[in-house]
Amino acid sequence: NIIFKTKLILKLLLKLLSTIILLLLYFQNSLLVLTNGSYGFVSERSPCACHICVADRRNSDWFRKRYNPNVPLLLDSTNSVLHASVSRWWKGLQIVPNTSNYTKVVDQLFSLFPDKEHYSDAGPDRCRTCAVVGNSGNLLGSHYGSLIDLHDFVIRINKGPTEGYEKDVGLKTTHRIMYPESVVDLDNSTHLVLFPFKILDIQWLISAFTSKSITRTYTKVPSTIKANKDKVMILHPAFIRYVFDNWAEGHGRYPSTGFLTLILALHICDEVNVFGFGATSGGICGVHAGKFENETINQLQKINKILVHKGWT
């Protein structure tokens, strides 16, 4: 009798243990919430399939205060109306006064270039890797080329060359960041990502693919560019202001192109690797509150949101 009861208890315990294990596996990324005497499971699944996901804001108060997942990244017809404070700040960056009607310029923009949502394919089963490649001379001799080319997105900035430097900087380019004063021709597969620091930058983009009439901003600029117009993207002015407020904390007049690119990568990638940032020996890092931007980049690495690959010179 005692043996039979012991066996029965053991079976029940094993069943209970199995049930608990199954429940734990089923709800492995969920959180039990008690509210007014009731309970339920709220999903806390990781936002991506990478080992560490950039968009996961649970482990750092510093990151959570700065990272806004809802900020508009790129201009499209659904988000082109600027908040008054953003409009005033953005127009205040212009060196050359411009009285053009922003709404008319934007309407013309979306009649020429893709007007669609980008980077909406994030999910718990995706791991979108990005290499953000700066133009520091510390990449020379690094032999990072093959590593850079392994990433899903390879984002290059301004005129950073690849030809002749493939061993150190790679060959692949999926996105090229630029503005009129830093134009470089692209192949048909590369996205042109315009960073508009002034309304004239958007007007130049329209002109470069149509009339080719704009040849000067505050300096001489190319009248046209070789690029695929179906792969054109325009950074949202509200995103520039967001980076200035949240990440640069008002330091400098506006964020540097490299810093803007890095923060953009935090929003479109699940894993971010950084190459070619920082100064070469005896060099200077940045002209837009470079010291503060560098401290922020170091903090992002410290909390495992990015991995900065150090150069060799």
Residues annotated as catalytic are 254, 288
Closest to 145 measured CA to CA, from 167, 176, 173:
167
Give me 7's structure tokens.
């066996």
- Would you say the C-alpha torsion 12, 17, 18, 22 has a positive or negative sign? positive
CA atoms within 13 A on the CB side of 213: 6
Integer Cα distance of 192 and 172 in angstroms: 14
Q: Which distant-in-sequence residues (6+ apart) come within 8 Å of 257 by Cβ?
A: 157, 158, 177, 179, 182, 195
Integer Cα distance of 292 and 302 in angstroms: 15
Integer Cα distance of 173 and 266 in angstroms: 18
| Cβ–Cβ < 8 Å for 199, 97 | no
Q: Which distant-in-sequence residues (6+ apart) come within 8 Å of 309 by Cβ?
A: 142, 144, 147, 273, 274, 275
CB atoms within 10 A of CB 43: 9
| Cβ–Cβ < 8 Å for 184, 135 | no
